[in-house]
Structure 1
Amino acid sequence: MKKTLRILFGQRVKALRIATGMSQETFADRCGFARSYMSRIERGGSNASLDAIEVLARALEVEPWQLLASESTHDDDPELVVPFAADGSCFHPGLASTRDGSFGVGDKASQKRFDTFSEALEYLRSMETAKWRRPNQSGNWGIVSAVKWDKLKKKVADE
Structure 2
Amino acid sequence: MDAKTILGLNLRRLRVERGYSQERLALDAGIDRAYVGRIERGSENVTIARLEALAAILQVPVAALFAEPADHKPPALRPGRKPKAR
- TM-score scaled by structure 1? 0.46
2:44 alignment partner, one of 43, 46, 49: 46
In the alignment, what sits opposite 1:103? 78
Helix, strand or coil: the match of 1:36? helix
Cα drift, residue 93 of structure 1: 2.8
Aligned residues between the structures: 81
Higher relative contact order (CA 8 A, sep 6+): 2
C-alpha offsets along residues 123-142 of structure 1, whole Å, 9 cap, x if unaligned? xxxxxxxxxxxxxxxxxxxx
Cα drift, residue 69 of structure 1: 1.4
Cα drift, residue 4 of structure 1: 1.7
Alpha-carbon separation, structure 2, partners of 1:65 and 1:8: 11
Alpha-carbon separation, structure 2, partners of 1:93 and 1:103: 13
Q: Name the amino acid aligned to 1:18.
A: V
Q: Which structure has greater strand proportion?
A: 1
Cα drift, residue 32 of structure 1: 0.8
Cα drift, residue 103 of structure 1: 3.4
1:93 alignment partner, one of 46, 59, 74: 74
Runs of 4+ in 1 over 4 A off after TM superposition: none
C-alpha offsets along residues 35-66 of structure 1, whole Å, 9 cap, x if unaligned? 01111001001011111111111010011111
Q: Given the superposition, is the C-alpha separation of residues 6 and 63 from structure 1 closer, same or farther in structure 2, using an over 3 Å criterion?
A: same
In the alignment, what sits opposite 1:27? 25
Q: Name the amino acid aligned to 1:26.
A: R
Percent identity of equivalent pairs:
32
- TM-score scaled by structure 2? 0.81
1:9 alignment partner, one of 7, 10, 34: 7
Larger radius of gyration: 1
Unaligned 5+ residue runs, structure 2?
none
Q: Which structure has greater helix proportion?
A: 2
Q: Name the amino acid aligned to 2:78.
A: F
Q: Name the amino acid aligned to 1:59.
A: I
C-alpha offsets along residues 58-91 of structure 1, whole Å, 9 cap, x if unaligned? 01001111111124x47xxxxxxxxxxxxxxxxx
Q: Name the amino acid aligned to 1:93.
A: P
Unaligned 5+ residue runs, structure 1?
75-91, 97-101, 105-112, 116-159
